[in-house]
Amino acid sequence: MTSAFEPVPPDPWTPPQVPPPVRTRTNPWHLLLAAAAGAALVGALWAGLDLADSGAPISTPATSGEAFDLRGTFTLYSGGYGYGTCGGSGGYSDITTGTTVTVYNAAGTVLSQGALGTGRPNGAGSCVFSLAAPNVPAGEKFYLVEVSHRGRIMVQPEDARNGNVALSLGN
């Protein structure tokens, strides 16, 4: 006998009731704002690429008469000594007399290659090498100088031309 207060179990085969999806209307101002923001982004990218000129040099290529020899010093801290000269040891063993010095322009084109000169001790385990790269074309906005494979360092044209390049490595 069933009581009037006893609940009736639900039919297990009846699918659950899902409310119909609620449809909202897109505000036309939101669409207009998104379109304007997208157009502004595309315009800014276009202007930026136009100003960068896709990496092309701004100045005209230098003639051979406008070339100069880049000169300066390279100081290696934690260098090793040997018979009046010095050079790198351990992780710096690639730094020694004759190590390649490469000069690049802003676009990454190699402009010149030179070498480190003989190193001389400078106290506390440091070595100072002369640095030179011949026939560097004039007229660049800046130069990137790399010793061995140790990364490119930006050098201003005045410093490059006047022999005021002073690079260092180590702690």
Identify whether the C-beta of residue 166 lies closer than 8 Å to the C-beta of residue 73. Answer: yes
Q: How many CB atoms lie within 10 A of CB 50?
A: 9
Q: What are phi and psi of 143, to 5 degrees?
A: -125, 150
| Per-residue model confidence as pLDDT tens digits over 124-144 | 778 899 999 999 999 999 999
Instruction: Please report, for residues 50, 138, 159, the alpha-carbon distance to residue 104 in angstroms, rounded to integers and kept in the order given.
Output: 23, 12, 15
| Per-residue model confidence as pLDDT tens digits over 75-89 | 998 756 555 568 887
pLDDT of residue 47: 61
Question: Exposed/middle/buried for 144, CB within 10 Å: 0-12, 13-18, 19+?
Answer: buried
Q: How many CB atoms lie within 10 A of CB 51?
A: 7
pLDDT of residue 80: 60
User: pTM surpassing 0.85?
Assistant: no
Q: How many CB atoms lie within 10 A of CB 107?
A: 11
pLDDT of residue 79: 59
Average pLDDT, the chain: 79
Q: What average pLDDT does range 55-63 have in this prediction?
A: 43
| Per-residue model confidence as pLDDT tens digits over 11-57 | 666 666 777 777 777 777 777 777 777 777 666 666 655 555 444 44
Identify whether the C-beta of residue 65 lies closer than 8 Å to the C-beta of residue 139. Answer: no
Q: In one letter, which amino acid is 15?
A: P
